[in-house]
A and B are shown apart, each in its own frame.
Chain A
């Protein structure tokens, strides 16, 4: 209760502050709405890196951080639209309805909503990254590098994005090593270093020798480093936090897309679209591979990265079965985007149930 109160209080302070420093230039102005603080070194941090790329390209930008996914979001959006911003990026799933609602009121302002699927008005676009492609690479590495055949996975919340990641990771790991088990622990937080560390420790104590994460802080790779097991970085290259443990990271790279879209507004070529970019378009980037990987595995991973980029390999290629053995994707077929976007069942080989 207190926390919510404080969060909204702080965000309104930040909000006021942002507007007092906002400039009044006539060029195209872009605004960014963030769910967390830019100092989270995870999701929001990476969006802010993208915003800085827009600045570097010569455009004015504004951001509001820590905006709750509630009526507050509408107020913030309305304020931004009213104060002369031409394009507004809303960078969390929960901003979906507020974005569409406010977009209706401001037909001349362009709205870009991350990870959503609703485009109710012609001035709303959506965009997301195919992070699951990155997880296919992580799964391949994990399946090859594990000795205990137990791989730990710290998950955040049971939403399609996370389930898709777990499935993609497990399918890839099974492909190189049919004996592996993926143990999943739900932390029910996107970032709380203490909790993430405890979750990772529990998995390591239970025999996991590689830890994957779908939470944002660097606590997990640090715990892995201390325990002498392997891990993967999330959102940004986390190698410097755990040089021995981190085998590679999946980086979120929003910059090129942001610059592209702001330029489109400046040139008058902006149009509504639904973007879902992966490794091929550079929205998902695989960091340098660690020297612990044997040369043949490195070559294999590099090839896989190329094939995922070109579309030759798809992360969800049949036959894929769910936990009960029902066919999800037939042999020779690949899962379509609709199935991926709403994926809420585990594939065969994942242990446990999805929390409801």
Chain B
């Protein structure tokens, strides 16, 4: 088979499109975790975003309202988590799991009336340039605004955490809430905001799935992507750029294994299907093997409740 560069461009574009929800959810969760809060409710927040976006799109017909609404729905459900873990000081892990169960259940309930309805076409940017440049065009042009946002996000997040004062505050709160509190930082407020931000990004990730990637609503349509996003945060050692790499590898192998099947490569299909999970972990472990750096970027008080600061 001859390798056609346009074909490669198309594949890369598919890979990028499939990694968008992972990047969004992981970058959101990253900020939450850097502030010292472990929210295992990513899957739940995503599915809430998915149904809210789809429902609003169907009812109002306005895509802008639907996208914003999905993010607000993510914020709303993460407020419950924030209230429980920060104000009532409940256990992060248990509350996060409950949030996922709650999200899946309530989305199914709301979604009952939206099954079997086709979604609307989501507008793309630079669609007229789709064939302008070989190879590069399918990668750069003809995508939704959420797509471009997702690929800017890891860099913005990196800059935010490393170079801005607020980023420093978030990291301080995650590493040593006591010292941060002694410096006059309102630890609880910072953590609240980081949780809500994470909720908004997960909501957006869900909306991308139900409105742009596969415009439809069916129950459990996030299909475990929330858990993969969570794993990416950990394996990338809380580094947004590595999240981008991990998400691309994961999405990439999922798609490449389908291509290998279609070409007829004689490798057991079960192995091919497991490949994305295995390789993503190996690669992220290898690129993150510097233990000093891991210690620096791991939020030291991740998942620990903070009692003072009343």
Contact = CB atoms under 8 A, between A and B. Distances in A.
Contacts of A352: 261, 264
B111 A353 contact: no
Contacts of A36: 219
A201 interface: yes
Contacts of B75: none
B107 to A, nearest CB: 9
Contact of A203 (B112, B262, B266): B262
A184 interface: yes
Interface in B170-218: 209, 213-218
A355 B274 CA distance: 13
Contacts of B224: 3
B213 A40 contact: no
A194 B14 contact: no
Contacts of B258: 185, 187, 198-199, 201-203
Interface string A180-202: 00011111110111111111011
Given A152-B262, A183-B262, A39 B14 contact: no
Given A2-B97, A39-B111, A197 B214 contact: yes
A185 B118 CA distance: 25
B92 interface: no
Given A37-B220, A152-B262, A241-B118, A222 B215 contact: yes
Given A37-B220, A193-B214, A194-B223, A355 B270 contact: yes
Nearest to A6: B101
Nearest to A352: B264
A2 B214 contact: no
Contacts of A189: 223
Interface in A1-52: 2-3, 6, 9-10, 13, 36-42, 45
Contacts of B118: 218, 222, 240-242
A185 B111 CA distance: 30
B56 interface: no
Interface in A205-226: 205-206, 208, 217-219, 222-223
B214 A217 contact: yes
Interface string A247-263: 00000000000000000
Interface residues of A, number: 51
Interface in A27-82: 36-42, 45
B100 interface: yes
A280 B269 CA distance: 36
Interface bracket on B: 35 or more
Given A3-B224, A205-B7, A41 B116 contact: yes
A356 interface: yes
Contact of B218 (A10, A40, A223): A40
A206 B273 contact: no
A307 interface: no
Nearest to B268: A355
A186 B269 contact: yes
Contacts of B262: 152, 183-185, 202-203, 206, 208
Contact of B115 (A45, A184, A188, A219): A45
A202 to B, nearest CB: 4
A195 B104 contact: no
Contacts of A242: 118
Contacts of B100: 2, 6
A167 interface: no
B188 to A, nearest CB: 28
Nearest to A220: B214
A219 B108 CA distance: 18
Given A39-B108, A195-B254, A201 B14 contact: yes
B105 interface: yes
A193 B14 contact: no
A195 B268 CA distance: 18
A42 B115 CA distance: 10
A240 B254 CA distance: 28
Given A2-B97, A197-B213, A222-B215, A39 B112 contact: yes
B261 A185 contact: yes
Contact of A37 (B40, B108, B223, B259): B108
Contacts of B14: 198, 201-202, 205
Contacts of A218: 118, 214, 216, 218
B281 interface: no
B263 interface: yes
5 contacts: A10-B105, A194-B223, A199-B258, A351-B264, A356-B268
